[in-house]
Amino acid sequence: MTEQAPIKLSDMPGLPVTGVLYNPRSHRNRDASIVEPDYPVIRVEQPQRRRELKDAMQRFVDSGVELLVINGGDGTVRDALTGGAMVFGDKWPDIAVLPRGKTNALTIDLEMPKHWSLEEAIIAHRDGRRVQRQPMVLKPMDREDITRLGFILGAGVFLAAIDSGQDAHKWGAFDGLAVGVTTVWGVAQALFGNDANPWRRGARARILLGEALEELPRSPFGDPASRAMIFLSSLTRFPAGLRPFGECEGPLRLAVIDHLRRRVVAQMPWILRGYHSDKLAGAGMHRRGTDRIELDLGDRFILDGEVFKPGRYCVTPGPMLNFVVP
C-alpha cells in the first residue's frame, strides 16, 4: 500500500494571511531556528530591539495579516501586544501563541498544548475555536513613557518569587512545576524569615480602585505605607491550579496581603487555592474585582516577567482579543 504524501499548507484552502513574531531568545527557541512552513502567504519578523516592534507590526498591517502568531513566552506576548496596540487600533487580527518561554501563563490560561506547531496554529485559524481575553493596559501617570499591555503584574513578595523562579529554571523546573517549587520555597521563607528577608519586606504602595478611586483598606499590621504582596491580572486560570483571586469577578482582579503575618502565611497553600474568610480579610488579605486601578508604587514591580521602575500607574482593561485555540 502506497503511503499518502503529507498534506502541504499550500494545498489547503481557506488558510489565513499569517504574520509570525519570532523571539529567538525565548527558552525553547534558543537552540532552534524558525522553520517557515511550505505556505505562500506568511511573513516572519524577528525584531532585535523593542523600538523595532512598531515597525514590525506595521509591516504585518501592510501585508493584510489575518493571523498574528507570537512565538515566545509571556514577555514576548507582552512586547507583541504593546507594539500591536500602536498600529492595530481596534482592528486586531486573530492571535495564536506558541508557548516557547520559561513561563507561559497566557497559554496555560488558554489551555494550549505545550508543543503546538506553527502549522497547527495556521490550520486552527480555519478549523479551531476562538477564546477572548483582555490584557491589562498599564499607563504611566507621572512621566512620558510607553503604555504597555500585559496579563500579570506583581510587587512586593512577587519580586522575590520571580527571583526564586529563575533559580527553579536553572534546576530545570518550568511552567507549573516552577510555580509549585517557588510557592513551597516562598511559604517557608515567609514563615521562618524576619522582616529583612526579601520574602517579607514588601513594597511601598498606595492602591486606588474604580472610577471613584476608593483607597483599598489596610489592616493595622506591619508598615502602614507598605503592602507585602500585590498581584493583579486579567487571566482566569493559573499554573498548578492556583486561584489567587478566589471568587472575585471583573476585568481586573487584585489580591493584596498587607503584612506576612505567620497566621496568614501558614494558610497560604489554601489561600492560593482560593480560600477566603472574614478572619483573613481582618488579618490583611484583600481580594477585589474592578475595572480601574491606580497604583502609586515606591518600589520596583513585575509585568509579565520584566522589572519596571517605581512610579504612578493607571491600570485599565485593554482591547478584547481573539486567541485561536485547537
Do the beta carbons of residue 130 and residue 325 sit within 8 Å?
yes
> Got the DSSP string for 34-58?
----S-SSEEEE--SSGGGHHHHHH
Per the listing, cell 497553600 goes with 269
Residue 305 has pLDDT above 90, yes or no: no
Rounded Cα–Cα distance for residues 128 and 124 (Å): 4
* Identical fold, 9-133 and 152-303: no
Residue 191 has pLDDT above 90, yes or no: no
> Got the DSSP string for 292-319?
-EEEEESS-EEETTEEE--EEEEEEE--
Residue 319 has pLDDT above 90, yes or no: yes
Q: What is the mean pLDDT of residues 4-22?
A: 76
Residue 172 has pLDDT above 50, yes or no: no
Q: What is the mean pLDDT of residues 295-313?
A: 92
Do the beta carbons of residue 126 and residue 56 sit within 8 Å?
no
In the chain, domain spans: 9-133, 152-303
Do the beta carbons of residue 283 and residue 263 sit within 8 Å?
yes
Q: What is the pLDDT of residues 71-123, one digit of tens each?
A: 988 899 999 999 999 999 889 999 999 988 777 889 889 998 888 888 899 99
pTM of the model: 0.83
Phi and psi of 301, rounded to 5°? Answer: -145, 170
Pick the CATH number of 152-303 from 1.10.10, 2.40.30, 1.20.1440, 2.60.200: 2.60.200
Q: Using 50, 70 and 90 to split pLDDT, how confident is the model at 178? A: very low
Pick the CATH number of 9-133 from 3.90.79.10, 3.40.50.720, 3.40.640.10, 3.40.50.10330: 3.40.50.10330
Residue 203 has pLDDT above 60, yes or no: yes
Per the listing, cell 519578523 goes with 45
Q: Among 152-166, 186-200, 229-243, 269-283, where is mean pLDDT lowest?
A: 186-200
